[in-house]
Amino acid sequence: MRRKEIHPLTPDQVKVLLATAAATGDRLEALYVLAIHTGLRQGELLGLKWDDVNLDNGALQVRRSLSVTKDGLALSSPKTKVSSRSVQLTSEAVSALQEHLKRQLKER
């Protein structure tokens, strides 16, 4: 099976994406910021839980990944030991996560 070639966003496309997400109040803005600033895979991003994130230290732990199985969506451990890792967050990523947490707490 041949893999699809990945075409990352250009810097200009990233600016437009983040500006649009911020301007429209997109609920997934923090996800976009994390994706861009950390380079995490889609399944790793979607598998994150708040107990994986340490906003005080500006880091997160990749402990699981969300994947599609024949039975539906499933959380599983990363495929390799190297995939389970600590990732340092940029100040922009920390800020985006702080705002996302505030929104979630307000909605509860």
Residue 88 amino acid letter: Q
Do 68 and 53 touch, CB atoms closer than 8 A?
no
Mean per-residue pLDDT, 17-22: 97
61-64 own/partner pairs: CB under 8 Å, 24+ apart: 61/85, 61/86, 61/87, 62/86, 62/87
Please check the confidence at residue 82 and state whether its pLDDT lies above 80: no
Domain boundaries, the chain: 11-107
Q: Which CATH architecture has domain 11-107?
A: Orthogonal Bundle (1.10)
Dihedral angle over CA of 86, 87, 88, 94, nearest 10: -110
pLDDT for the residue numbered 4: 84
pLDDT for the residue numbered 42: 93
pLDDT for the residue numbered 5: 87
Do 21 and 14 touch, CB atoms closer than 8 A?
no
